[in-house]
Amino acid sequence: MTDATAEQDPYLWLEELTADAPLGWVRERNAEAVAALAESAHFGALNAEIREVLDAKDRIPYVMRRGDYLYNFWQDETNPRGLWRRTTLAEYRKAEPEWDVLLDIDALGAAESQKWVWQGADVLRPDYRHCLVNLSRGGADATVVREYDLQTRTFVDGGFELPEAKSDIGWIDIDRVYVGTDFGTGSLTASGYPRIVKEWRRGTPLSAAVTVYEGKPDDIAVGASHDPTEGFERDFVTRATDFYSSEKYLRSGENLVRIEVPDDAEIGAQWEWLTIELRTDWTVGDQTYPAGALLVTNFDDFLAGQRDLAVLFEPSPNTSLNHYTWTRNHLLLNTLEDVKTRIEVLTPSAAGWQREPLAGVAATGSVQIIDTSPDDDDEFMVNSSGFTEPSTLLYGHVGEELEGIKQAPAFFDAADMVVRQHFGTSADGTKIPYFVVGPENPSGPVLLNGYGGFEISLTPTYSGIIGRGWLARGGTYVVANIRGGGEYGPDWHLSAIRENRHRVYEDFVAVAKDLVDRGIAEPARLGIHGGSNGGLLMGVMLTQYPELFGGIVCAVPLLDMKRYHLLLAGASWMAEYGDPDDPQDWEFIRKYSPYQHIEPGRPYPPALFLSSTRDDRVHPGHARKMVARLRELGYDLSYYENIEGGHGAAADNEQLAFRWALTFQFLFDRLASDDV
């Protein structure tokens, strides 16, 4: 094994983000990739069809309620950077609602000569007139923040405003905000996030903001928030000590009161209730509550020392908590059972918490709670879809019949496609679920997708891009639910972090081999795809299991695990991967770190690497250096780096379509025996 970083990394210069030499290298690689892939006979049609999916006028405009209005952000061919707009429920029910445009990002960018990318807005409750708009240059996580008046449709002169940074800002009231940002030297953590949170009053300079809390340099971040719910106004301060652990405080005047829950638990406060979601077992008195459980108690009683905890959800070997949210009088609980979703309605009463299934929602596929309005009533929206079933948006109130308020179009013909769930067996005997989508007897190329990290679950959802660009052209699509994800709760994740990271890769290999054993795929026509942490997965497959695959697409990846913690937000992920500067941690990290495992003369399959210059989360230097070293050794690979796009590697639908078209064209070129 060659340890390229032990003494000197000859490609360290490619980490210089925007220097002339690295950008010149990027332009040369981009030109090669475009010539090899985008100039092929089928690329134009492929790109156009994917763009048609992304820009479709009849796709569902998903909304969130804020007061009397439903808000939506919309991008299409006419509005590539997007429109922030709103409408009423009565209008939204119509096939073609009338939208009130609040902010045109394309027009704003043209007026200010900036390529703005929308990153959301925080609207002040309960008047919903003022908001804090986040705008990114090119799609980076760092944003510019400006106060905007929804009545006058103008940015507020002298209002709250922050220059570009990875800021955390939120309303207290019309005249005050909590703000964490780059206040100057020493104000950020090693991960690049705010270390100090302050209370900032309207009409005063940022330098006059009063410090509320100050964390330590090796923390991940600190932040504060205000809950304006009438009768239950509360202020919270959080100190994130690692990616999964944080100290939680209630701010009472000048005092901070510690909320005594496990550091790795997630909490929520709604009216009189405190919810506690556990990631590890928690013993209280003589009772132990298991990892993955959701508990509830009276907020004030808990702070006073009482521990009367009710269990709202307790996991089983094949079930996990996926999400929960409140309506005015109920709690909606979204759970997974062997990666299939269900929703229950929980209602507090004098006799305890009552529960029943949410009627009218399919128990298969994926069901997501899109929005509720807990300030007002029991209204909710849920989205139901499956690999071959386009989304249906359902609207209703708890206890009433659901209304199918929107239906997404079908972007591909799924009449002859089947969806199957299989289980492979990993090296330690663990059964690993995966879904196969495509013809019953597949003979074309197979694309296997995986992630395996940060407790993120991959559930059965409809993708017009995958359907139109891959399935409709004879491909088969596979999703692997490997450990490291959250499909079976926190234990599924925690069993594959740090020194047990190898299980992620063994699980993925188990799925790949099971596909071959079942006759669904063979190595020559099995391609794999993953991004970010999934890109790390792709790098490991490339360097350690090359014989299993015919082509690999590796997007916005981590690859140099010797230096990942030194690049951009990398230090925030050491709870997941370990600390490369600790010799004991490096001992298990080095066993899989792809950049350190590049060797000459191995049967590496062809690979396409994708990244973004404006990615300020995972440094594009990972992909650049990997490609440079592989090129030096003569391997077959392509590299495309979008200048814009941030961690998503695309700032608008045109860029996103192009990126996916490159992906599919590359895979068809390498895996398919016939033209598509």
Q: What is the 3-state secondary structure (H, E, C) of 256-286?
A: EEECCCCCCCEEEEECCEEEEECCCCEEECC
Residue 363, pLDDT score:
62
Q: Specify whether 647 is catalytic.
A: yes
The CA distance from 334 to 325, in Å, is 9
The CA distance from 620 to 30, in Å, is 14
Marked catalytic residue, from 330, 529, 565, 647:
647
The CA distance from 80 to 583, in Å, is 48
Residue 8, pLDDT score:
79
The CA distance from 527 to 475, in Å, is 10
Residue 4, pLDDT score:
44
Residue 376, pLDDT score:
85
Tokens for 590, please give them. 């080095």
Tokens 């081999």: give the residue: 513
Q: Please list the residues that pair with 340 across neighbouring strands.
A: 337
The CA distance from 136 to 230, in Å, is 33
Which H helix or E strand runs over 200? Answer: strand 196-201
Residues of the chain with pLDDT under 70: 1-7, 362-364, 673-676
Q: Specify whether 245 is catalytic.
A: no
Contacts of 304 (CB under 8 A, 6+ apart): none
Could you list the beta-strand ranges (E) of 350-453: 352-357, 366-372, 379-385, 392-397, 403-407, 417-425, 431-439, 446-449
The CA distance from 496 to 278, in Å, is 18
Q: Which of 671, 670, 664 is nearest to 445 (CA)?
A: 671
Query: Residue 573 CB: number of other CB atoms within 10 A?
Result: 21
Q: Which of 297, 241, 287 is nearest to 267 (CA)?
A: 297
The CA distance from 280 to 652, in Å, is 40
**Cα dihedral 128, 132, 137, 143 in deg (nearest 10):** -140
Tokens for 7, please give them. 């003494």
Q: Which of 281, 150, 172 is nearest to 233 (CA)?
A: 172
The CA distance from 660 to 653, in Å, is 10
> What is the pTM for the complete model shown?
0.96
* Beta strand 168-173 pairing with 161-165: unpaired
Residue 253, pLDDT score:
87
Q: Please list the residues that pair with 252 across neighbouring strands.
A: 255
Asked if 77 and 52 touch (Cβ cutoff 8 Å), the reply is no
Residue 6, pLDDT score:
42
Marked catalytic residue, from 320, 532, 612, 638:
532
